[in-house]
């Protein structure tokens, strides 16, 4: 495992007792505010000292209460992107970017020009942080962390302080980072849209404990997790391959359970995408529907049905090798005669796409 | 300025010399003390804080007398200084500088401490995660950001040192040309008939020095703050 964390820490009334392993790729620590996400990341960084336990990165022990090991923050070789950019106000963007290299005794400018280009900050190098927008400052902070050549990148809700357009501006850079940097990332978030776009592995925290962890596609399509993610945001993520761009502006995608047609997706034929399908955007039909405006209908079988507190039922559907979630009312479940193992059709009202990570936690098609 | 004899000019020059060395030599210790008080987590922090403040609260004459007891030729520290290095502080301008430094120290530390407390520790954490040791964090992040506070503290200490009277006159007496600073000279002129004019001139000079120091520090601090913020 890339990072293994097994720590306990009391913080007033709050007890943190967390144990998980994070593989390569993007591991998202997900949970409500107050669930202990930031404390875990701070413990990995060395900014919070656990009462007991052990933290190891690759074969390197960063903290071991039993053995008395506590590597100081500046020797842990990690990059930390905070919620606020935390740029040094008295230095230019360039000096901010190179700060970590000088501090850790690395020679030269490293990948300065490549990183600056990847993050779209080449034009800002001579500016002072006071003259950057929030989104620009956060991109510089990401670049600063990367250029110190960390063995792991920690990101604590790096988008939370930004408004929606700034978030949209930065997310593509994070996706490129996941694909290009080869550096494992621990990413704290309570935003399921970010999880769906970025995560390869998911650790769900609740009240200072790990509720569940696993591959993102497994956890997002797990009906028992709907309570945590919220009925509105629950849904599954699968991988799709771009097959063709039709003349009428519709893109044909292949998923394991069939074919999807979406309004023009700006991706090359043959490339892989992440497809997010929300549970409340899925209708269930007992027979293949005709005379319907929805383009995307997949044949599925019912894997499980889970009743919630209200009138709804979360139905887990198997579409090829993938799992979908659908949220229907109990009444329509009864009317359709849905039962585990039964065959039916999933009608997808809308589908969101994002670039897929190469070699990540999702199956390729 | 016809009323200002060589004695008075000597007093002005001596005051500036005493205040300069008092400020310059106590500045590093002032920064370290301010940092320890602002960021330190050690047992004796409150005691250190009290010690720094003592000269502000005690009658200056008492401070001066304690200095004389400690640093006089017969005193425990003064005796050693004389035996080992042949250095005498009592009744010398160097002693005046020591007295001025001690009296000005609380003001200096307070200004620098406030500046350090205004630096967001999150910036220092960020620097540490980038691989900077504590010393490097202090030199490259904390120190540049508190520069305006250091300037303010130094100028405040300088102004205080120029005007120090009670501890100075008790410790090093009032010897024209050797230990007679501006306040001691004003005091001496007022003791003799016809000395009022000379005293008044010195009063004007010391007011000018004080106001000039404040103006200079404000200007410098604003310039540095401007440069740091990069706005």
pLDDT of residue A249: 87
Q: Which of A253, A259, A277 is nearest to A325 (CA)?
A: A277
DSSP-derived letter for residue B110 is: H
List the single range of A52-66, A166-180, A222-236, B60-74 with lowest mean pLDDT: A166-180
Across chain A, what does the average pLDDT equal?
Answer: 89
pLDDT of residue B3: 55
Q: Which structural domain range is residue B165 located in?
A: 6-229
- At A179, the pLDDT band (50, 70, 90 cuts) reads confident
Nearest C-alpha of chain B: how many angstroms from A69?
Answer: 18
The pLDDT > 90 percentage for chain A reads 61
B1 lies in a domain? no
Q: Which of residues 137-156 of A touch B (CB under 8 A)?
A: 144-145, 148, 154
CATH topology of domain A235-352: OB fold (Dihydrolipoamide Acetyltransferase, E2P) (2.40.50)
- At A123, the pLDDT band (50, 70, 90 cuts) reads very high
B142 lies in a domain? yes
B230/A129 touch (CB, cutoff 8 Å), yes or no: yes
Furthest CA-CA distance within chain B? 69
The structure tokens 């990401």 sit at A142
Q: Is B216 on the interface with A (CB under 8 A)?
A: no
User: Between helices B182-191 and B196-229, what is the axis angle to 10°?
Assistant: 160
Report d(CA A269, CA B111) in Å as an integer: 65
For residues A48 and B125, the answer to whether their CB atoms sit within 8 Å is: no
Domain A3-229's class? alpha beta
Q: In chain A, what residues touch B144 (CB-CB under 8 Å)?
A: 90
DSSP-derived letter for residue B141 is: I
pLDDT of residue A264: 84
Q: Which of A34, A37, A55 is nearest to A46 (CA)?
A: A55
pLDDT of residue A362: 45
pLDDT of residue B1: 47
Beta bridge partners of A302: A317
- Given A45, A90, A127, which is nearest B129 (Cβ)? A45
Highest-confidence range of A145-149, A219-223, B22-26, by mean pLDDT? B22-26
Report d(CA A137, CA B53) in Å as an integer: 42
Contacts of B214 (CB under 8 A, 6+ apart): B155, B159
Please state the separation of Cα B26 from the chain's center in Å: 7
Q: A245 to each of A251, A272, A276, A350, how far by Cα in Å?
A: 4, 14, 20, 18
pLDDT of residue B33: 96
Instruction: Name the token pair of A303.
Output: 């894997």
A103/B136 touch (CB, cutoff 8 Å), yes or no: yes
A79/B129 touch (CB, cutoff 8 Å), yes or no: yes
Q: What is the CATH number of the domain that holds B130?
A: 1.10.3720.10
CB neighbourhood size of A264 (10 A): 11
Q: Which of A183, A334, A351, A349 is nearest to A265 (CA)?
A: A351
For residues B139 and B101, the answer to whether their CB atoms sit within 8 Å is: no
B141/A144 touch (CB, cutoff 8 Å), yes or no: no
Q: Is A63 on the interface with B (CB under 8 A)?
A: no
Which stretches of chain B score pLDDT less than 70?
1-4, 230-231
- Alpha helix (H) ranges present in B119-165? 121-129, 134-137, 143-163
pLDDT of residue B108: 96
Q: Give the residue on A whose Cα is nearest the Cα of B137.
A: A103
- pLDDT tens digit string along A283-338? 999 999 888 888 899 999 999 998 877 788 999 999 999 999 999 999 999 999 99
B217 lies in a domain? yes
User: In a mutagenesis test of the A interface, which of B41, B115, B127, B129 is the best target, namely the one with the most A β-carbons within 10 Å?
Assistant: B129
A148/B228 touch (CB, cutoff 8 Å), yes or no: no
Q: Where are the beta strands (DSSP E) in A139-231?
A: 152-156, 185-189, 201-206, 209-215
- At A349, the pLDDT band (50, 70, 90 cuts) reads confident
pLDDT of residue A357: 53
Q: Give the residue on A whose Cα is nearest the Cα of B120.
A: A86
User: What 3-state class would DSSP assign to A262?
Assistant: strand
Q: Tell me the whole-structure pTM to 2 decimals.
A: 0.82
A89/B140 touch (CB, cutoff 8 Å), yes or no: no
**Count: domains in chain B:** 1
User: What 3-state class would DSSP assign to B230?
Assistant: coil
Report d(CA B54, CA B174) in Å as an integer: 24
Q: Give the residue on B whose Cα is nearest the Cα of A129.
A: B230
User: In a mutagenesis test of the A interface, which of B126, B136, B140, B146 is the best target, namely the one with the most A β-carbons within 10 Å?
Assistant: B126
pLDDT of residue B88: 86
Domain map (residue ranges) of chain A: 3-229, 235-352
Q: Which of residues 118-147 of B touch A (CB under 8 A)?
A: 120, 122-123, 125-134, 136-137, 140-141, 144-145
- pLDDT tens digit string along A233-271? 888 998 899 999 999 989 999 999 999 998 888 888 998
pLDDT of residue A153: 93
Is the pLDDT assigned to residue A341 strictly greater than 80? Answer: yes
Is the pLDDT assigned to residue A231 strictly greater than 90? Answer: no
For residues A139 and A121, the answer to whether their CB atoms sit within 8 Å is: yes
pLDDT of residue A359: 38
A74/B131 touch (CB, cutoff 8 Å), yes or no: yes
């Amino acid at each position: 495992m890339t990072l293994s964390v097994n720590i306990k820490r009391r913080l007033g009334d709050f007890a943190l007792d967390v144990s998980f392993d994070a593989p390569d790729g993007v591991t998202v620590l997900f949970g409500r505010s107050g669930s202990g996400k930031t404390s875990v990341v701070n413990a990995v960084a060395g900014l919070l000292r656990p009462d007991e336990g052990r933290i190891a990165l690759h074969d390197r022990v960063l903290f071991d209460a039993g053995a008395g090991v506590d590597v100081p923050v500046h020797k842990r070789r990690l990059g930390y992107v905070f919620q606020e950019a935390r740029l040094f106000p008295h230095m230019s963007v360039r000096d901010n970017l190179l700060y970590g290299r000088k501090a850790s005794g690395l020679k030269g400018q490293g990948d300065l020009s490549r990183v600056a280009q990847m993050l779209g900050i080449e034009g800002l190098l001579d500016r002072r942080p006071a003259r950057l927008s929030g989104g620009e400052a956060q991109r510089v902070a990401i670049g600063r962390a990367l250029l110190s050549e960390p063995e792991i990148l920690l990101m604590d809700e790096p988008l939370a302080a930004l408004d929606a357009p700034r978030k949209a501006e930065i997310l593509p850079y994070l996706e490129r980072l996941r694909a290009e940097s080869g550096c494992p990332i621990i990413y704290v978030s309570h935003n399921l849209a970010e999880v769906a776009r970025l995560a390869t592995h998911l650790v769900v925290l609740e009240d200072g404990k790990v509720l569940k962890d696993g591959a993102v596609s497994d956890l997002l399509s797990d009906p028992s997790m709907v309570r945590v993610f919220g009925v509105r945001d629950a849904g599954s993520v699968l991988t799709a391959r771009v097959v063709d761009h039709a003349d009428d502006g519709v893109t044909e995608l292949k998923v394991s359970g069939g074919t999807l047609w979406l309004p023009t997706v700006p991706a090359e034929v043959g490339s892989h995408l992440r497809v997010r399908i929300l549970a409340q955007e899925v209708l269930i039909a007992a027979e293949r529907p005709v005379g319907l405006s929805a383009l995307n209908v997949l044949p599925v079988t019912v894997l499980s049905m889970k009743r919630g507190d209200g009138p709804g039922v979360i139905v887990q559907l198997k579409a090829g090798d993938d799992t979908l979630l659908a949220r229907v009312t109990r009444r329509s479940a009864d009317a359709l005669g849905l039962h585990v193992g039964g065959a039916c059709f999933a009608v997808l009202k809308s589908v969101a796409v994002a670039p897929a990570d190469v070699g990540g936690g999702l199956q390729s098609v | 300025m016809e009323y200002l004899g060589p004695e008075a000019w000597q007093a002005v020059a001596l005051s500036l010399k005493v205040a300069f060395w008092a400020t310059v030599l106590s500045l590093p210790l002032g920064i370290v003390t301010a940092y320890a008080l602002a960021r330190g987590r050690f047992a004796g922090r409150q005691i250190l804080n009290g010690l720094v403040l003592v000269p502000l609260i005690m009658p200056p004459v008492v401070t001066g007398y304690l200095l004389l007891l400690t640093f006089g030729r017969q005193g425990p520290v003064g005796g050693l200084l004389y035996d080992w290095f042949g250095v005498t502080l009592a009744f010398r301008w160097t002693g005046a500088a020591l007295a001025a430094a001690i009296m000005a120290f609380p003001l200096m530390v307070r200004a620098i401490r406030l500046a350090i407390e205004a630096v967001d520790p999150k910036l220092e954490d960020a620097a540490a995660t980038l691989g900077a040791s504590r010393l490097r964090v202090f030199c490259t992040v904390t120190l540049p950001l508190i520069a305006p506070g250091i300037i303010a503290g130094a100028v405040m200490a300088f102004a205080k040192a120029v005007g120090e009277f009670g501890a100075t006159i008790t410790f090093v007496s009032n010897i024209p040309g050797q230990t007679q600073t501006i306040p001691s000279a004003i005091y001496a002129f007022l003791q003799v008939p016809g000395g009022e004019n000379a005293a008044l001139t010195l009063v004007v000079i010391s007011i000018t020095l004080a106001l000039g120091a404040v103006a200079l520090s404000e200007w410098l601090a604003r310039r540095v703050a401007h440069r740091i913020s990069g706005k």
